[in-house]
Every structure is written in C-alpha cells, then in structure tokens.
Amino acid sequence: MITKNKVVSLHYILKEGTKEANIIEETTGQDPMVFLYGAGQMIPKFETEISGKTKGDKAEFGINAADAYGEIDEKAVLTLPVDVFKSEGALDLEMLKVGNVLPMQDAEGNRMDGIVKDVNETEVKMDFNHPMAGKDLYFEIEIIGVRDASKEELEHGHVHGEGGVQH
C-alpha cells in the first residue's frame, strides 16, 4: 500500500484539464515513473490522490493549476538586456528563437529554465514560470509496484536502481 517512504512505480497519462483533452505526456509502453513517496518529489495533490493505493490499482483525477504548478506569475516574466545572451561578444540568434527554453542562473547561482517570449535589438523577454503553470492537469494512472524504500534510498531521498538514480 502506498504510504510515506514507499517506492512507487506507476504508469500515467497526463492531459491538460480534462479526460477528453489532448495527451501532454504518458509512460504507457515505456518504463514506468518511479519515485519515493513522501520525499517532496511530486506535486503534493498527486501524492494525496494515490495514497493508500496498491499494485494493480487504477485511478483518474484532476488537479487544478493552483495545486499543480501554480498560476502564472507575471513577476516571473522578465525583460533582460540582449547583452546577457552574448558569448565572447557575439549573439547566437538561433539560441534566441521565440519558444526556446534556455538554462539560466539567478544572482545566487540557482539554475532555472526560461522560455524566450520575445526578442528585439536591445532586449529579450523571458518567462521563468514552470511550463505547466496556469494549467489544470488530468491524470490517468495505474500502479505497477509498491515496495519499501531501502535505508540508502531514505538517506539519499530518492530511488536507486531500476527507474531511479544509478550511483
């Protein structure tokens, strides 16, 4: 049964908003998603929805945007000087195409991805919201396996071995 500190393997189909919506992502026909339940790796509402389930259980549920990746935060859309994107004095225009996701760092050195929204001669508008911010989610899941986490997995806070970190 899925409880805190269990390793959960599941297949899912993720759709935007409703059961009838287009599929955003799915694991069917691939390796299942494997994670340590209760370790803060998943959306809390997702964990609440699968709590107590066992191998073979199936479920469908929606999670509203506020309980998923949050609403869109306009403060996370920034206009930066184009010079920030120059490398050795040159600007890579291929990199700055609208829609590209660029890895960046904030002033403290924290890594964050930004989506290029607009580019002109002097500025680049970047959106640092999560790509799924502002979107309601709909999941269809099937529990493939539930097992106790090893001592090492609990100490490290993530799954090791198949479906997990290999170290």
The pLDDT score that the predictor gives to residue 89 is: 78
The model's pTM: 0.80
The 10 Å Cβ neighbour count of residue 77 is: 16
The pLDDT score that the predictor gives to residue 76 is: 94
Q: Which of 36, 41, 34, 32 is nearest to 11 (CA)?
A: 32
The pLDDT score that the predictor gives to residue 167 is: 45
Report the distance separating Cα 160 and Cα 34, nearest Å. Answer: 10
- Listed as ranges, residues in the chain with pLDDT below 70 are 161-167
The pLDDT score that the predictor gives to residue 162 is: 62
Q: Which domains does the chain have, with CATH numbers?
A: 6-69+132-156 (3.10.50.40), 74-127 (2.40.10.330)
The pLDDT score that the predictor gives to residue 163 is: 57
